[in-house]
Structure 1
Amino acid sequence: MPLIVPPSLPARKSIDANIWLALVGGLVGTVIIYAILIPFQTSYIGQLLFNRGWTQPVVILFALLVAIFTLLKWMRVLVEERALRQAWIPGNFPIQSPTDEQLWDFQQTLSKRRAVLPIRCARILGAYMQGQTREAAAEMALDDGAAASAASESSYTLPRVLVWAIPLLGFIGTVVGISQAVDGFSRFLQAAQEVDQIKEGIGSVTTGLAVAFDTTLLALVLSVLVMIPLVMVERLESQLLLNMDSYINDFVLGRISGTGAETAGPSLGVEELRQTVQEVLRAELPGLEEKIVPLPEKLETVLNQFGRLSQALANDRKQFLATLTETQETQAQALEQLLAQFHHQGALLLETMQQGQVEASSKITSQAAEVAQVLAQTNQILQQRLEVITSLDGALKTLADTGSLQGVLKDLEVTLIQLQPTLQQLSQPRRVTLVEQAWDHNKS
């Protein structure tokens, strides 16, 4: 049964990824990473994430967002590749007449699928049934291919911006760290009066430099880690779109031949068709030949007017194309100037950062020289004080020896006091009695 109502075309579908889901996943992932590393704040990773400024969590958030977006895109590409390997249009299915009811049912079945390829096939068949020509189907295939390529290209805009923003955040952290180091050390030098305060100032300088270089390190590492998978997935998606275009050209457009008008009904010969038209006109419009006689002149006038109109339209078309070409060239030049200005600004930014680092290094070197001079003066003062302490130690030892001599004298005085009665007895006059004893010579 011939088809009366043309089918409706399903909406275009692209290989997209939910950017809001990627954003929520990035936020949740950042919170989880920081929550896991709370007990390890003293480790190197903990110090790198917790004590290196506000740029670190932002860099991690951007990196996770790009990584999750890349993962979602890769999953969609895998699904569409599996759909590409299926036979959506069987080899024995006839595509001969655009008014075939079986073709209408098949087009409606394809339009209910969720994959991109069957939706594109359904749109091409619908355009064929609406326009009833192969050219209409080919134009629809070309438009859908261009729209799919444009949608794929635009879907990677935000991830590319984030990939470029990650190292820029690292450079911002570098500038902030160097500024903190120089400012903190200058304030400590102005208020430094003792060696301990100078040591604290040097510690603040090293902390600021750690912030400066650790932020750049983390940003560069994460940008490389997320950029490579993103480029690979983008290349896979481009190859998939090319394979879809090849499938449509081979298995859809290749099955449609000729125009729909030629297959709509039985064909008539030219002579038979002319005679039939003349008979119908004579029967329905008597006296038509008299009215047709002046028509060639009018037709010639109309053709002349139509020729002038066609010439005007052609001129307008040429002027429009020239204007469009000029506009495109102007836009291309403006884009090139914008890119050159962007590269120039980036080079100036890098040069400014390098000059800032050189100036900061020179300031730190001069301040370190001043610190070394102060330390040398302090060392000289300490040497003088050490000599005074050494002389005081000798004096104290002398005093200690004097105290020992006084103890000996006191002991000697006590001994003399104890010997004084004996000496007094010895000093008194004594009487000596000599006793003569006779010896018994006999006994002896």
Structure 2
Amino acid sequence: MPKSIVNNRQELDINLPLVLLFSTLLTVAIYTLLLPFRDTYLGVLLIDRGITQYLVVFISCFVITSSLDKLTKIRTELQSLRKIDIPSHISFDNPKSVQIKQMYEYFSESGKLVDNRLSRVLSAYIHSGSRKASSELALDDSSFYLSASESSYSFPRILVWAIPLLGFIGTVLGISQAVSGFSGFLDSASEVDQIRDGIGTVTSGLAVAFDTTLLALLLSVVVMIPLVLVERLESQLLLQIDIFINDKLLPRFRDKKSKSSPSLDKDTISKTINQAIKESLPTPEELIQPAEMYAREAAQNLLKEFLHQFNQIQSQESELVEGIKEVNQIILTDREKIIQSYQEQQNFNATLVDDIKTIITQIKEQNNISKTELEQQIGTFKNQLENIVSLLDKKIDSLQKSSEQIAELSKLENSFNGIVRALESAGKMENSLSLIQEQITLLQPVIKDLSKPRVVRLVEQIDQ
């Protein structure tokens, strides 16, 4: 089946995963760039005003990214439309000709919007052989694309309408925070500093309320303008494609019965298409009107609530002033009591200092008496130590003499040991000499026998 027949006429629809990815990256990039400027008004407006700010920024980035995606595709289609030129030498008299089929195959394989539109018109002409049928298909195809274009902008429009609604939700949350904080600090406020902190909480809540609405309305206007411009550019693209088909392609077709049938009126087609566009597409005023009405109602309700809360604040402020006066009176009374107790404490401290001085003088006198006694004891102890030292010197001299005598005794002991060893060696030699003498006495008979003369005889014997 040809590609153009199964086409769902969504060539200009956004690539949702890609748009989500780029919108997320854009949101992250915005907040990353704002981190160094967090203390500025813009940083506080986008970062410190609640979760609705993050949602508003993300939705705005999504709408802007989808608009850019649409714009890229529309510009690509416009460039393709400008490049298309049907050669004048091709004859469309025979719907079954090879040139028309080749042209149809070329357009059906492209995948672009303009080529798909042309391939469908050529397919109708090839199968029907009638210019009227091709014109009707081109008109139906144009209406289908208008419907598809209208439906493709429904989701971005919903998001654009949701941006101010999120701002109003942030407003409600901020006012609720301010009111709850104000009622809470009035119950527990007892000092001026606490009152200041409570008023700061109230003002911060009101800042959240107004800043969320401000950012939402501002971003809704910012994203609505490019969305409307892209939508208008897409309508112009579809219109140019219709004009190209009706001016460049359909007039060259021929009917089966009559080859000289008059062509459609260009002005009539243009008026019809423009009328259809005006009836199908809403105007910017129609888009902004619901948001304006809702904003007015919300502003009126906010003003009424603010006046009511302001009146309550005034009444509570008067009560608070009276309470502050009573607190001041109590503070003055307590101050006089504190001053009186302070004077009594000073008198007590003076008497205590006098008592301490008296005790110190007594301690000094006792220390002087004990000092003389201590010096006497030290002198006695010193004499005793001198006697002990002299005795120790005498003992040391006697010990030195004893050590000299011990050294002489050790020398005598060594010489005595040498004499004992010499005597032991002399006794051993005497024993060995006695043994030798005994052996000699035993050998004397043998020596005598050996000293006698001997006769040696040789006897010869023959074996038988």
> The TM-score by the shorter chain falls in which range?
0.5 to 0.7
- Separation of aligned partners in 2, 1:221 and 1:370: 41
User: Could you say what the CA RMSD is over the residues aligned between the two structures, in angstroms?
Assistant: 3.5
Deviation for aligned residue 1:29: 2.1
User: What is residue 409 of structure 2 aligned with on the other side?
Assistant: none
- Separation of aligned partners in 1, 2:312 and 2:72: 53
Q: 1:79 to 1:204 in 2, by over 3 A?
A: same
- The answer for unaligned runs of 5 or more in structure 1 is 264-339, 400-444
- Separation of aligned partners in 1, 2:127 and 2:169: 58
2:315 alignment partner AA: S
Bigger shift: 355-364 or 164-173?
A: 355-364
Pick the aligned partner of 1:197 from 194, 199, 212: 194
Q: Report the TM-score when normalising by structure 1.
A: 0.64
User: CA deviation digits over 1:411-438, x for unaligned, max 9?
Assistant: xxxxxxxxxxxxxxxxxxxxxxxxxxxx
The answer (yes or no) to whether the contact 1:120–1:144 under 8 Å persists in 2 is: yes
- Separation of aligned partners in 2, 1:72 and 1:187: 50
Structure 1 or 2, whichever has the larger Rg, is: 2
Q: Taking every aligned residue pair, what percent have the same amino acid on both sides?
A: 43
Pick the aligned partner of 2:310 from 361, 366, 372: 361
Matched, 1:210 2:207: yes
User: CA deviation digits over 1:325-359, x for unaligned, max 9?
Assistant: xxxxxxxxxxxxxxx99998887655444433332
Deviation for aligned residue 1:173: 0.6
Pick the aligned partner of 2:249 from 252, 257, 264: 252
Matched, 1:143 2:140: yes
The answer (yes or no) to whether the contact 1:97–1:260 under 8 Å persists in 2 is: no
User: What is residue 186 of structure 1 aligned with on the other side?
Assistant: 183
User: What is residue 104 of structure 1 aligned with on the other side?
Assistant: 101
The answer (yes or no) to whether the contact 1:26–1:61 under 8 Å persists in 2 is: yes
User: What is residue 327 of structure 1 aligned with on the other side?
Assistant: none
User: What is residue 282 of structure 2 aligned with on the other side?
Assistant: none
User: What is residue 229 of structure 2 aligned with on the other side?
Assistant: 232
Q: 1:345 to 1:152 in 2, by over 3 A?
A: same
The answer (yes or no) to whether the contact 1:173–1:215 under 8 Å persists in 2 is: yes
Bigger shift: 180-189 or 36-45?
A: 36-45
- Separation of aligned partners in 2, 1:126 and 1:26: 40
The answer (yes or no) to whether the contact 2:2–2:108 under 8 Å persists in 1 is: no
- Separation of aligned partners in 1, 2:162 and 2:4: 44
User: What is residue 71 of structure 1 aligned with on the other side?
Assistant: 68
Q: 1:151 to 1:386 in 2, by over 3 A?
A: same
2:26 alignment partner AA: G
Q: 1:254 to 1:10 in 2, by over 3 A?
A: farther
Q: 1:137 to 1:38 in 2, by over 3 A?
A: same
| 1:155-304 correspondence to structure 2 within 5 Å | 155-257=152-254, 259-260=255-256
Matched, 1:83 2:32: no
Q: 1:88 to 1:380 in 2, by over 3 A?
A: farther
Matched, 1:31 2:25: no
The answer (yes or no) to whether the contact 1:12–1:120 under 8 Å persists in 2 is: no
- Separation of aligned partners in 2, 1:7 and 1:341: 42
Deviation for aligned residue 1:390: 9.6
Q: 1:342 to 1:76 in 2, by over 3 A?
A: closer
The answer (yes or no) to whether the contact 1:10–1:123 under 8 Å persists in 2 is: no
Structure scoring higher RCO (CA < 8 A, sep ≥ 6) equals 1
User: What is residue 427 of structure 2 aligned with on the other side?
Assistant: none
Deviation for aligned residue 1:212: 0.8
User: What is residue 388 of structure 2 aligned with on the other side?
Assistant: none
Deviation for aligned residue 1:23: 2.1
Q: 1:225 to 1:6 in 2, by over 3 A?
A: closer
Bigger shift: 360-369 or 63-72?
A: 360-369
Partner SS, residue 252 of structure 1: helix
User: What is residue 118 of structure 1 aligned with on the other side?
Assistant: 115
Matched, 1:43 2:40: yes
2:64 alignment partner AA: A
User: CA deviation digits over 1:136-192, x for unaligned, max 9?
Assistant: 101110111001111111111111111111111111111111111111111111122
User: What is residue 319 of structure 2 aligned with on the other side?
Assistant: 370
- Separation of aligned partners in 1, 2:80 and 2:327: 80
The answer (yes or no) to whether the contact 2:168–2:298 under 8 Å persists in 1 is: no
Partner SS, residue 17 of structure 1: coil
Q: 1:372 to 1:221 in 2, by over 3 A?
A: farther
Deviation for aligned residue 1:16: 2.0
1:362 alignment partner AA: N
- Separation of aligned partners in 2, 1:209 and 1:93: 73
- The answer for unaligned runs of 5 or more in structure 2 is 260-288, 348-464
Number of residue equivalences:
320
The answer (yes or no) to whether the contact 1:7–1:130 under 8 Å persists in 2 is: no
The answer (yes or no) to whether the contact 1:198–1:371 under 8 Å persists in 2 is: no
The answer (yes or no) to whether the contact 1:7–1:129 under 8 Å persists in 2 is: no
1:371 alignment partner AA: L
